[in-house]
Amino acid sequence: MSGSVVLLHLAGAVALMLYATRMVRTGVERAYGDLLRQKLRSTMRNPFMAVIVGTALAIALQSSTAVTLLVGSFAGAGIVSGMAGQLAVRGAEIGSALVVKILSFDLTLLVPICIAGGTAIFLATERRTWRQFGRILVGIGLLLLSLEMIGQASEPLRDSKLLPVIIDYFSGDPVTAYLLAALITWLFHSSIAGVLLVVQLAGRGLIPPELGIVLVLGVNLGSSIIAPLLTRGAEPEVRVVPIGNLLMRGLGSLVMLAAFLTFKPSPALIGATSTDQIINAHILFNVIVLVAGIPCSPLVYRASQALVALGTSAKPAESLAMVELSALNQADLGTPSLALANATRETVRVCETVEIMLKRIIELYESANTDKVTALAALDDRVDDKTAAIKLYLAKATIQQMTEDEALRCQELLGACVRLEQVGDIIVRNMLVHVQKKMQRGLEFTPEGWRELSTFHATVLANARLAFNVLISRDPDSARQLVVEKDRLRDFEKETSHSHFARLREGAERSVETSAIHLDTIRDLKQINSLLTSMVYPVLEEQGLLQKTRLKAS
């Protein structure tokens, strides 16, 4: 087999591994992401629990970068402290390393089980959670299959005459090998994929363990760079945790590389086989960084803040004209198709703003101050201004002769604008009032009540994202799924109300204090869900999938 064919097979196997990892992460985020976020909020205040939860979350998402970004957003919102966030990220790095350890075992039997079982679950139900669970199983199966493919694709390299020369070069130039591994990991956007590739090659005897350890240290450097680059345009508070991770993990990998090259310890000390030695070195490195990070957290946190402040002061101010650039091009009003496309683009921006409002309001229930309340109210003003501009633009567009489909799309966008404006009003005029009342009176929900509210909100937020997608894709299956979710939410509301009144009967003091806020919030979220669901009705009507009435014929 020629070298180019071998590399092609290897590239395909690596691509499948990256896709499978992303598939598992997407399934977990869609099915359980919002619930995991709520759990993370409630436990991050305890440093020890922050490490544990960070580890578990990285195993679930199969990505320490995803956890870093999530924790950074919490720190930016003031939900958790920057130091607790950095400890959670340290735990996430260990979780990511443990995933590599788990995947290093012989799990070939799980490949057909996961793929067949996941596909059956995905196709057998319309329930979002179960479909995403099926997606997760298929992703795990494909991930294990990709590891087999990498091993098979690299087998012909044993007989290569060029590979020993390359390996000898990198063994004699560990710094270049270290930097190359960092670059590849950054391209992969996954430390798990980077370490697994090294492990598979070492398991075939293609890489000596000494070089494998150097490459793993490079993988850790590359992984620590990903989150800071992804958040470089975010608010300063959001960037503190990723920068802190870069300081701890990135600089830690440099220190460990220097120590490894200086003292040249035998890899046999941490494992019997080259595979075990590389994996254990990866885990050991992240454990050392965690242990060192506990006493160093205050120092690293202050250094991270200083670096972020330095970057912020050096960053040129953005032009407000660019930030508020409108898609409503007046020159396109003479062409209805272009005008509708412009209006759709602008409506999508309104959807994004509403999604931000819906995400932030639940955070304010937990941690609120006057500045955050004012900022959220300002977003509603933006929604009102943009929806008014869209409605005026569409009114001008109707002066031109439109086809029947264009006229229906125009009405659909107008209806979406009205509903988005109503959702913004509910968040600001109703839910924000509940937040202020809770803040002024110093009220706290019971753990059960907060869990119910968080879960209910997570479901509504997931439905909102689905509704916004349908507005663009006009996919009837997704629209139908959203209506099914609306019915499930109604049943969930009944269960929540029963549980709440049961706590009131038992005389739970905090339930009595927060009863009105709890019930009003559930009502507001249900109304928001109904408004967003009604945005997809035109798609269902087009397909003849929508009944005119729920009433039975008499």
In a domain, 551, yes or no: no
pLDDT digits (tens, 9 = 90+) for 226-254: 989 888 877 787 888 899 999 999 999 99
User: Is 222 or 446 the better-scoring residue by pLDDT?
Assistant: 222
554 has pLDDT over 50: no
Q: Which stretch of DSSP H or E encloses residue 86?
A: helix 82-103
In a domain, 324, yes or no: no
114 has pLDDT over 90: yes
Q: Which residue has the tokens 């139908």?
A: 480
105 has pLDDT over 80: yes
In a domain, 319, yes or no: no
Q: How high is the pLDDT of residue 273?
A: 92
Q: Which domain holds residue 449?
A: 330-542
- Lowest-confidence pick of 74-83, 370-379, 390-399: 74-83
279 and 366 both lie in a single domain: no
Band of the pLDDT at 224, cuts 50, 70, 90?
A: very high
pLDDT digits (tens, 9 = 90+) for 159-198: 777 788 889 999 999 999 999 999 999 988 888 889 999 9
Q: Please give the model's pTM, rounded to 2 decimal places.
A: 0.67
246 and 335 both lie in a single domain: no
List the CATH number of the domain containing 374: 1.20.58.220
161 and 306 both lie in a single domain: yes
In a domain, 431, yes or no: yes
260 and 341 both lie in a single domain: no
Nearest to 462, CA basis, from 35, 18, 23, 10? 35
In a domain, 364, yes or no: yes
In a domain, 65, yes or no: yes
Band of the pLDDT at 31, cuts 50, 70, 90?
A: confident
285, 313, 341 - which closes a domain: 313
277 and 421 both lie in a single domain: no
In a domain, 318, yes or no: no
316 has pLDDT over 60: no
61 and 165 both lie in a single domain: yes
282 and 341 both lie in a single domain: no
Give the dihedral of Cα atoms 419, 445, 34, 534; nearest 10 deg.
Answer: -20
264, 284, 313 - which closes a domain: 313
454 has pLDDT over 90: no
Q: How high is the pLDDT of residue 313?
A: 53
286 and 340 both lie in a single domain: no
Q: Which residues contact 295 (CB under 8 A, 6 or more apart)?
A: none
223 and 357 both lie in a single domain: no
In a domain, 229, yes or no: yes
CB 234 within 8 A of CB 71: no
Q: Which residues contact 256 (CB under 8 A, 6 or more apart)?
A: 217, 285, 288
Section 483-497 average pLDDT: 86
225 and 165 both lie in a single domain: yes
CB 479 within 8 A of CB 536: yes
Coil, helix or strand at residue 127 = coil
- What is d(CA 536, CA 478) in angstroms, rounded to the nearest whole number? 9
550 has pLDDT over 60: no
Q: How high is the pLDDT of residue 319?
A: 40
313, 338, 354 - which closes a domain: 313
Alpha carbon distance, N-terminus to C-terminus of the chain: 75
pLDDT digits (tens, 9 = 90+) for 293-306: 788 888 888 898 89
308 and 429 both lie in a single domain: no
Band of the pLDDT at 259, cuts 50, 70, 90?
A: very high
Section 336-362 average pLDDT: 91
How many domains does one find in the chain?
2
Section 59-71 average pLDDT: 80
318 has pLDDT over 80: no
307 and 407 both lie in a single domain: no
